[in-house]
Amino acid sequence: MAIEPLRVRVQQTTRMSDIPEAIELTMGGLYYPLKTGFILMFDQQQEDGPVPTTIKYTPERLALICKGPIEMNHSFIEGRFTQSLYKNPYMSMTMATTTSRLDVSEESCTFVYELSMNEEDVGIYEVHVAWTFEGGDDV
């Protein structure tokens, strides 16, 4: 039996260590409950167009998957160093993070990490994603 998605309103706030103001985005999305986690899907609006984004949480691991103008599949694991490939229309880079915090609840997740791209330190990022469930069964 297929998992039925729930409609959600997603709010994402990103804070970067070298930029004083947070970046806030609000968009519609779909939430798929799993036995031991969830999948959250939404489109982030970027300069090059919408980026289909998936957050998949399983115990102790949050995966951020983007397809489209930006492509990546990166895992955030508290206390761990992880690497992946980040692609955009102009270049491809090695993305590496050390995740210092990963907090997940039933309606939000927060992850804090040090980011480097092609072995150059970029800064410390804090990403908070919250979702509220919308009424109705239409997807």
pLDDT in tens, 66-87: 999 999 999 999 999 999 999 9
Place of tokens 């609840």: 105
Has residue 48 got a pLDDT over 80? no
Q: How far apart are CA 43 and CA 51, in angstroms?
A: 5
Q: Find, among 115, 124, 136, 104, the residue nearest to 40 by Cα.
A: 104
Average pLDDT over the chain, rounded to an integer: 93
Better pLDDT: 137 or 33 = 33
Q: What share of the chain is helix, strand, coil (3-state, %, to 5)?
A: 0, 75, 25
